[in-house]
Structure 1
Amino acid sequence: MTYRIDWIQFLAAIAAIICYGATIAACFMFYVPWPATLPLMTLTLTAAGVWSHRRDLHETEGGAR
């Protein structure tokens, strides 16, 4: 059995983790964090959505075999 890496899903997961960590860090570092956290949260949600969508596609595709 061979495994293939879905690079889009992998990079989306890495981006979501990094952006989420940066969002949490910004909340503690800045007095008024919303100028930094709003774009970071948007990127986090987008990357997590891409990861989840790709995961569902692979799960559906793998379950049919």
Structure 2
Amino acid sequence: MALVLRLNSSAIFFVLFKTLENKSINNSSGIGLATCKKVIEDHKGKIWLESKVGEGTTFYFTIAKNLG
């Protein structure tokens, strides 16, 4: 099952302990994506998502080539 997320609210998926309202779809603690965001930002990167009806959601990220 592909999960499609509303892009106008995509920023909430990267907030610590924020989860989907419908727990029957996702039994989540809300820690995973917030942790990913923190690690990626610590490496001077960005994280975002793109969501398409019928296809699902894809998460993307970048990190800096030179961290020194």
The question of a shared fold, defined as TM-score above 0.5 by the shorter chain, is answered with no
Q: TM-score, normalised by structure 2?
A: 0.31
Q: TM-score, normalised by structure 1?
A: 0.32
Give the helix-richer structure, 1 or 2: 1
Higher relative contact order (CA 8 A, sep 6+): 1
Over alpha carbons, which structure has the higher Rg?
A: 1
Give the strand-richer structure, 1 or 2: 2
